[in-house]
Amino acid sequence: DTGVSQDPRHKITKRGQNVTFRCDPISEHNRLYWYRQTLGQGPEFLTYFQNEAQLEKSRLLSDRFSAERPKGSFSTLEIQRTEQGDSAMYLCASSSRGGEELFFGEGSRLTVL
Amino acid sequence: GESVGLHLPTLSVQEGDNSIINCAYSNSASDYFIWYKQESGKGPQFIIDIRSNMDKRQGQRVTVLLNKTVKHLSLQIAATQPGDSAVYFCAEIPSGYSTLTFGKGTMLLVSP
């Protein structure tokens, strides 16, 4: 399978704990995006990378959230001191150079108790 | 499984009918639009796109119509099948930006 893969698919954690999600984009894609989706809503943009550079961050991305893409390949999204309001599906997508079509992964569902 | 369809507008059709899903976008500067399909528990899947210099584009069983005057986008699905049941989102990229902004979804339910 050469699509976008995300890990873990599901994470249940207690409030206050840190969690980390990983995304492996399609190998030839240089752009990588993180979105968040809550029930009944469309995905909301969080941040995006071109190669290893983080080019844009949404105001939704509080200082408890940090994303990295150290070698321009896989990316991690870490949430520190999780809150119940962080419960959502975290979606990763990638696109090729100059491409606008985003290819999404299956998402990582976070439940904060 | 968990549904992404709670509180969403819903369109119910019979198998074989044609479906029309509508979307109003807000940014008149947007120059690229995409329709995505999202099945329960999965990530969004690309269906079809259209640029602002076009008013119609056709794919396999799907047609997207763009009316820039009233900032309206529609997705037409011909001969709807039960496998088309999902939540459909329109998304736009404003000119000069690189990120997609998604609209509110519409749940399509297809009865056999």
Q: Which H, E and C letters describe A57-110, residue by residue? A: ECCCCCCCEEEECCCCCCEEEEECCCCHHHCEEEEEEEECCCCCCCEECCCEEE
**Cβ distance of B43 and A44 shorter than 8 Å:** no
Write the burial class of residue A29 (CB in 10 Å: 0-12 exposed, 13-18 middle, 19+ buried).
Answer: middle
Interface residue B51 vs chain A (CB under 8 A): no
Predicted pLDDT of residue B1: 35
Instruction: Indicate yes or no: CB of B99 within 8 angstroms of CB of A45.
Output: yes
Q: In what order do the strands lie in the sheet with A5-7?
A: A5-7, A19-24, A75-79, A65-68
Structure confidence at residue A28 (pLDDT): 86
Q: What is the pLDDT of residue A99?
A: 65
Inform me whether the pLDDT recorded for B5 exceeds 60.
no
In this prediction, residues B36-40 reach a mean pLDDT of 94
**Quick one: CA torsion of B52, A93, B61, B40, rounded to 10 degrees?**
-130
Whether chain A has a CB inside 8 Å of the CB on B41: the answer is yes
Residue B108, CA distances (Å) to B67, B88, B99 in order: 22, 7, 26
DSSP state for residue B112 in the 8-state scheme: -
What is the pLDDT, as a whole number, of residue B95?
Answer: 76
CA distances from B99 to A15, A27, A107 (A): 30, 20, 18
A93 and B93 within 8 Å at the Cβ level: the answer is: no
Q: What is the mean pLDDT of chain A?
A: 93
